[in-house]
Structure 1
């Protein structure tokens, strides 16, 4: 998902690890199974917080277990390695976001607008939550991309546009890869810009306005990759964004 800029504290809503809320855990599970789920949730929550504070590559298993108040050996009852816990964390975060995009697009009939809304929300969330953006860049370069989550939705939505003759493209697969590369490059550029900018209230407001315009321009470029004219692509990319619904917490 190239190396991303070192993350900093999120400016928007904080990331929530899967199962981080104990109220979300199904109390009908036997005590042993419930404890195992609770321990796994604590490990994931601790890993996410450490990644936000230190960056992905700097976190150790020992730090995760210390932060989660879990014995070092117990870690391996849930995950095979540090890479394993990061994979589980990434999979949940982006499945959750992909489901959010589906809810956002539920009332949209134009496949082009569905794509534009998805691209814009992806870029804006990466801007609000730099750790999330860094993880998306990491995931975007993984072999899993087109088999689940955001990649799978992009393939689905592009197929719908093609079947309805809304999109005219010579090579479906290469068009999707081009779109993914455009979005990831945009996230990497905007994360670097946000990190290097001064953190004054005025600067944040100006940057936010630039972010929204950048997300619109990126969405227009993506739509042109699917065969729309520049004028129509820009018009669709400037339409008001649907409101982001609350996402459920994974039990």
Structure 2
């Protein structure tokens, strides 16, 4: 997926601090350690904002340190290279989001609904934040897709569904690969719709495929891969999404 600047992602996006606020002020970290964590957070935040504007290949270390208000030499106290920073950025973004999904689904007892909620939130966030979606596609095809972040949660939730006999699959690994492929293909389609011509947008309206409906349909397909019947899968995928009263916005304007 090409890194194409998008007007909906040109706003500055502030990432959540990678440690809890109470840790920042508690005695758990020394003052020096807190400063180091804060500097690392600023570098990651600045990198994401620049990637959203220019794409990964168009960003330099100097631009990142300038945007983060960090000395150029200090960059190497945190990352070995620009590529190392981008790896950390991807891990941070998707671990943060995976934890958010865990919180949203914490009150759900049905593994099928947990997966449906996770898929729908993932598709809708990719629609709202195309650069985030592009990074997720890149991460989804990496060698670590099932061992961390969203892939790790999908593996966990599918294992729970299988152990509770909610899911019936002949081959768990192939089922997971199929589910991940469906989700990534759905995100790619969303990004295509978002950047397409007016004719494609009109066609989408005729098909009644809003981003929310598209996310529901994708979730239903994933559930069918885990052995649910189509009618039940669609019913679960259309349930009201749980909301988090304590969740914070992921974007801020200038």
Superposed, 1:33-182 pairs within 5 Å as 33-182=33-182
Secondary structure of the 1:106 match is coil
- 17-26 or 136-145, which moves further after superposition? 17-26
2:24 aligned with 1:26: yes
Q: Structure 1's 227 and 22: CA in aligned 2 closer, same or farther, altered over 3 A? A: closer
How far did 1:31 drift? 3.8
How far did 1:164 drift? 1.1
Q: Retained in 1: the 8 A contact 2:3–2:131?
A: no
Q: Retained in 2: the 8 A contact 1:7–1:134?
A: no
How far did 1:171 drift? 0.4
- 27-36 or 125-134, which moves further after superposition? 27-36
State how far apart, in whole Å, the 2-side matches of 1:66 and 1:234 are. Answer: 49
Q: Retained in 2: the 8 A contact 1:15–1:132?
A: no
Q: Which residue of 1 aligns with 2:214?
A: 214
Secondary structure of the 2:146 match is helix
State how far apart, in whole Å, the 1-side matches of 2:101 and 2:74 are. Answer: 35
Q: Structure 1's 54 and 21: CA in aligned 2 closer, same or farther, altered over 3 A? A: farther
Q: Which residue of 2 aligns with 1:196?
A: 196
State how far apart, in whole Å, the 2-side matches of 1:37 and 1:165 are. Answer: 43
Q: Retained in 2: the 8 A contact 1:9–1:129?
A: no
Q: Retained in 2: the 8 A contact 1:100–1:245?
A: no
Q: Which has the higher contact order (CA 8 A, sep 6+)?
A: 1
Aligned pairs, how many?
242
Secondary structure of the 1:144 match is coil
Gaps of 5+ in 2: 250-254
Q: Retained in 1: the 8 A contact 2:3–2:54?
A: no
Q: How big is the alpha-carbon RMSD for the aligned residues of Structure 1 and Structure 2? A: 2.9
Q: Retained in 1: the 8 A contact 2:3–2:56?
A: no
If the length of structure 1 is used for normalisation, what is the TM-score?
Answer: 0.86
State how far apart, in whole Å, the 2-side matches of 1:220 and 1:56 are. Answer: 33
Q: Structure 1's 5 and 49: CA in aligned 2 closer, same or farther, altered over 3 A? A: closer
State how far apart, in whole Å, the 2-side matches of 1:209 and 1:51 are. Answer: 29
State how far apart, in whole Å, the 2-side matches of 1:16 and 1:209 are. Answer: 30
If the length of structure 2 is used for normalisation, what is the TM-score?
Answer: 0.85
